[in-house]
């Protein structure tokens, strides 16, 4: 994209570059970087109204920048200068960005697919095994100075021969499937779009209807993006259709599962245990999950590794560079593929 009158393009940096300093320096060579001073939405909107971000053509944003700006919604977009054409999100899940509102303003959005797949699937496997083996109960007892506890944890279950149901067969779902196969699990999946038969065969997975996935799985992992169609896709009604004693795993977004319904299902024994990385109201966690040792809890650390966080930053930065240099994005979000 040729900047107006040959002026250097401007890029808005929402959040911090922690690892990919060389890649970011390559952006700073071709663009002026604007860093907001504000730390909350009200002052961010004021800063925008004062014209501080004028002339920016692209914004790089992190998951944590939500604390300073709130959701990238119609109000925020209207406060930003009209020159903004690209929002480059560092993360696979982009539910913090209202894509429809961006599309309506001809702003293109990118995310970082595939960069997160290994690390997120790894933590899903960790949470699955931990929940199947009741490790949370033993770990809590040990820290309380009670060895295995007054009542030892119930014996766990081996993954071998068990059915892992995967809801959402994108990059993370497929990566988890491959890893779970190495543990001798049978993989069933449900997805909005069925994979090609060749891909199913290569992966060794079987497509089933949604209700069949619920009824037939020993473990259910949700690997779906959060949007209006997937919010609370697992709630009271769906828990009732599951096999009694199912193990639940969530590394996607908290609100894909109705958390209050999960707490109830754990209390009744319909769900025997759960492994969770994500929560409906992060950073707060439902007290019914915190107090239940049959739930293994991790504070949204699905991609929390040096390698993956670096890869994600580099990916998001490559979108910024491409936007500046060519007016295109490397990984535009699926909703905008035709834009
Ligand atoms: O990439 C994402 O969407 C994440 O949630 C990182 O953990």
**ipTM of the assembly?**
0.96
Residue 306, preceding bond cis, omega within 30 degrees?
Answer: no
Q: For residue 308, give Cα distances in angstroms to 47, 111, 115, 132, 174.
A: 33, 14, 7, 26, 17
Segment 125-152 mean pLDDT: 96
Sign, Cα dihedral of 133, 136, 137, 143? positive
Q: For residue 259, give Cα distances in angstroms to 34, 99, 121, 130, 231.
A: 39, 25, 21, 20, 11
Catalytic annotation present for 157? no
Closest CA to 113 of 32, 174, 37: 174
Provide the pLDDT confidence category of residue 2 given band limits of 50, 70 and 90: very low
Nearest CA to ligand 1 atom 3: 93
Ligand 1 atom nearest the C-alpha of 94 is 3
Ligand 1 atom nearest the C-alpha of 112 is 1
* Residue 93 in contact with ligand 1 by CB distance below 6 A: yes
Assess whether pLDDT exceeds 70 at residue 4. Answer: no
Ligand 1 probe mutation, 116, 122, 227, most atoms within 8 A of CB: 116
- Distance (Å) from CA 305 to ligand 1 centroid: 12
> Is 173 strand, coil or helix?
helix
Nearest CA to ligand 1 atom 5: 93
pLDDT digits (tens, 9 = 90+) for 207-246: 999 999 999 999 999 999 999 999 999 999 999 999 999 9
Catalytic annotation present for 89? no
Catalytic annotation present for 54? no
How much is the pLDDT for 7?
84
How much is the pLDDT for 6?
65
* Residue 136 in contact with ligand 1 by CB distance below 6 A: no
pLDDT digits (tens, 9 = 90+) for 65-80: 999 999 999 999 999 9
Domains identified in the chain and CATH numbers: 4-115+307-336 (3.40.50.720), 117-297 (3.40.50.720)
* Residue 159 in contact with ligand 1 by CB distance below 6 A: no
Assess whether pLDDT exceeds 90 at residue 124. Answer: yes
């Amino acid at each position: 994209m040729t900047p107006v009158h040959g002026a250097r393009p401007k890029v808005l940096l929402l959040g911090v570059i922690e690892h990919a300093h060389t890649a970011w320096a390559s952006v700073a060579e071709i663009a002026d970087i604007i860093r907001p001073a504000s730390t909350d939405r009200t002052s961010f909107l004021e800063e925008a109204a004062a014209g501080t971000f004028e002339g920016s053509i692209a914004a790089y944003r992190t998951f944590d920048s939500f604390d300073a700006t709130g959701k990238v919604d119609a109000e925020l977009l209207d406060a930003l200068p009209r020159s903004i054409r690209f929002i480059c999100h560092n993360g696979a899940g982009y539910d913090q960005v209202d894509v429809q509102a961006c599309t309506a303003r001809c702003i293109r959005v990118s995310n970082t697919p595939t960069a997160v797949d290994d690390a997120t699937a790894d933590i899903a496997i960790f949470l699955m095994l931990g929940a199947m083996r009741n490790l949370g109960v033993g770990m809590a007892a040990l820290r309380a100075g009670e060895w295995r506890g007054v009542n030892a944890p119930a014996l766990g279950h081996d993954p071998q021969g068990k059915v892992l149901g995967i809801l959402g067969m994108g990059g993370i779902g497929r990566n988890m499937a491959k890893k779970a196969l190495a543990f001798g699990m049978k993989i069933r999946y449900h997805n909005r779009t069925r994979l090609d038969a060749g891909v199913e065969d290569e992966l060794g997975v079987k497509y089933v209807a949604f209700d069949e996935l619920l009824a037939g799985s020993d473990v259910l992992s949700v690997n779906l993006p959060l949007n209006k169609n997937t919010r609370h896709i697992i709630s009271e009604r769906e828990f009732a259709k599951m096999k009694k004693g199912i193990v639940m795993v969530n590394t996607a977004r908290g609100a894909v599962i109705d958390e209050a319904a999960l707490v109830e299902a754990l209390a009744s024994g319909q769900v025997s245990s759960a492994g969770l990385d994500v929560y409906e109201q992060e950073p707060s966690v439902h007290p019914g999950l915190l107090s239940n040792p049959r739930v293994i809890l991790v504070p949204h650390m699905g991609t929390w590794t040096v390698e993956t966080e670096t890869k994600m930053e580099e990916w998001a930065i490559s979108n910024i560079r491409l936007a500046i240099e060519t007016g295109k994005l490397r990984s535009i979000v699926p909703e905008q593929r035709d834009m």
